[in-house]
Amino acid sequence: MRVLRHLEERLQKGKLHMTLVDPEKQPAEVASDVASSMEDMGTDAIMVGGSTGVTQENLDTTVRGIKSVVEVPVILFPASAQTISEHADAIYFMSMLNSRTTRLLVGEQIQASKTVKDLGLETISMGYVVVEPGMRVGEVGLANPLPRDDPELAVKYGLAAEFFGMDLFYLEAGSGAPAPVPLEIVSAVGEEISIPLVVGGGIRNGRSARELVEAGADILVTGTAVERTRDLASLKEILDAVKRGNR
């Protein structure tokens, strides 16, 4: 089944969790173990990508390793057109809507388009907005980070993504952010847009996860909590908070 359709069907039943694995941060065997334990805990997809340090080799070996041990979809979360793996199930065809450079708005996507087609990768189009503090991705992406006290601007970005026909809208506080995207922003955007709202960056415990899904996030992404803690208890707490109330 196509990945987007699979995710949409699961979203009919409730909220989703995705695990972000950065190929630079650990060898492929470790990444595969992490992905496999996250699948056992109920994660709905594995995203593979990172802002820096992703090479064709570490990407391919990581994606292949993960694919060999999980059944959930493996989706590329690309930083540029340079590193795309044919072994993934799909790729986020994403635009950083608040980047100051046309390179991340549309330039990398133009460079990548023919390769993506030739590899037969499913594309899932996604509007991506970096929220303060933005961390590394905000810096390398030359973002004008969305102010944490401006839910109205966030809504405008979300609606623009929807009206462009994008499949998903992602609010990103940045990997390793000290706090997730503010709840006021999540609830304002969640109320206005009709495409699924993805929220990531700085989600470390069950309480944050629960508050974000209650505020209106449809899909939560965690990366650092997975890498850093390997603390099964807090990861389980996050998964349980996301899945609570799912049918």
Ramachandran angles phi, psi of 46, nearest 5°: -110, 125
Beta bridge partners of 146: 131
Toward ligand 1GP, which CB reaches closer, 20 or 35? 20
CB 108 within 8 A of CB 91: no
Tell me the closest approach of the beta carbon of residue 226 to ligand 1GP, in angstroms. Answer: 7
Residue list 205-234, contact with ligand 1GP (CB under 6 A) = 221-225
Show Cβ contacts of residue 1 under 8 Å, excluding neighbours closer than 6 positions. Answer: none
CB 228 within 8 A of CB 27: no
Residue list 34-53, contact with ligand 1GP (CB under 6 A) = none
The 120-149 site mask, x for binding ligand 1GP (CB under 6 A), equals ------------------------------
Toward ligand 1GP, which CB reaches closer, 72 or 120? 72
Q: How far, in Å, CA of 117 to CA of 61, rounded?
A: 21
Tell me the closest approach of the beta carbon of residue 77 to ligand 1GP, in angstroms. Answer: 7
Residue list 165-194, contact with ligand 1GP (CB under 6 A) = 172, 175-177
CB burial of 31-59 (b: ≥16 within 10 Å; e: otherwise) equals bbbbbbbbbebbbbbbbbbbbeebeeebb
Residue list 56-75, contact with ligand 1GP (CB under 6 A) = none
Is residue 203 at the binding interface for ligand 1GP, with CB under 6 A as the rule?
A: yes
Displacement of CA 151 from its chain's centroid (Å): 20
Q: How many residues bind ligand 1GP (CB under 6 A)?
A: 14
Tell me the closest approach of the beta carbon of residue 203 to ligand 1GP, in angstroms. Answer: 6
Is residue 202 at the binding interface for ligand 1GP, with CB under 6 A as the rule?
A: yes
Is residue 104 at the binding interface for ligand 1GP, with CB under 6 A as the rule?
A: no
**Token representation of residue 13:** 């039943």
Is residue 201 at the binding interface for ligand 1GP, with CB under 6 A as the rule?
A: yes
Residue nearest to ligand 1GP (CB): 200
Tell me the closest approach of the beta carbon of residue 198 to ligand 1GP, in angstroms. Answer: 9
CB 145 within 8 A of CB 133: yes
Q: How far, in Å, CA of 63 to CA of 73, rounded?
A: 11
Binding site for ligand 1GP (CB under 6 A): 20, 172, 175-177, 200-203, 221-225
